[in-house]
Amino acid sequence: MGQVKVVTDTTCDLPKEVLERYDIKLVPTFITIGDNVYRDTFDLEVEAFYELLKTSADRPVSGPPGRKDFSDIYTTLSSTTDSILSIHISQTWSQTMKLAENMARFSMNAAKKQGKNLDITVVDSKSTCIGLGSIVIEAARQAEAGKSKDEILAHITPIIENMKSLFMVDDMSYLEKSGRIGKAGAMIGNLLRVKPIFTIEGGETNVKGRPMGAGGAFDKMIELMGEVLPYGSSIKLGIAHAMSPDKVEAVKPQIEAKYNCVEIYETLVGTSVGATMGPGSFGFVYYTV
């Protein structure tokens, strides 16, 4: 009944026009700042979040969607389709996957009692931000083309396994605020203009360098990219920034000069990643095509 429907969570950081274009359904994660709890994207847009982050002394805390958020979307979609792909942030960083799996079972059992045949497959993207967003776009395009669930999974699974991600932190005080490093480390890092670089592979985050200055960070990111990707490779590229479009303008031409960028997605780093990395952070994901 109908085409496969794609569900994701707000950590995908996809802009509204992309979600609407591909009929992607969104489950909100939550962000708590002080005494206030917001639904990411729905109650608090990303630009407003970064303004709050700059002025609030409280540590922002992100949380997964509620059970009802999942069940409401699954139930609504069951009236138009019998096949749902629910693609989410890596289970390494969030309880979102576990909640999605639990509510998928609940929703399928509820549908069965009503005589409906509903299949919900929950997929771990092993990523977040523009990495998750890129995978969701690929799945939604396949669904729009009339592909079956198994065909879509066959298309996105190699992308999930082979996607590479590189992110840099501009201001280490936000790592300190989120509890990732100590206050002294943040102060020294900022004094030395250290810009930590992280990779995301297979749902795991690793520090790959601590260059000084934005220029040094950009050079290191391009160097790391070149270590795993032959010159001239055809890739799809996703770029995300936390209110720092100047970094996109500095790095994107360097990547385009070295590789055949078949497609480039750009978006803002949303609240979940932004709560840890802070404004000024920047990153990109890529995979071969």
Ranges of the chain with pLDDT below 50: 178-192
Say what the pLDDT of residue 173 is: 63
CA distance 132 to 14: 9
DSSP letters, 212-234, are BHHHHHHHHHHHHHHHHS-TT-E
Those residues whose C-beta lies under 8 Å from the C-beta of residue 281, and which sit 6 or more positions away, are 167, 168, 169, 170, 174, 241, 242, 244, 269, 273, 274
Domains of the chain listed by start with CATH number: 5-29+64-158 (3.40.50.10170), 163-288 (3.30.1180.10)
CA distance 153 to 122: 11
Those residues whose C-beta lies under 8 Å from the C-beta of residue 150, and which sit 6 or more positions away, are none
The runs of H, that is alpha helices, within 78-192 are 96-113, 129-144, 149-162, 173-177, 183-191
Nearest CA-CA partner of 93 in 211, 9, 215: 9
DSSP state, residue 93 = T
Distances in Å between the alpha carbon of 105 and those of 99, 108, 112?
A: 10, 5, 11
In this structure, the number of other CB atoms found within 10 A of the CB of residue 179 comes to 10
Those residues whose C-beta lies under 8 Å from the C-beta of residue 49, and which sit 6 or more positions away, are 31, 38, 270, 271, 274
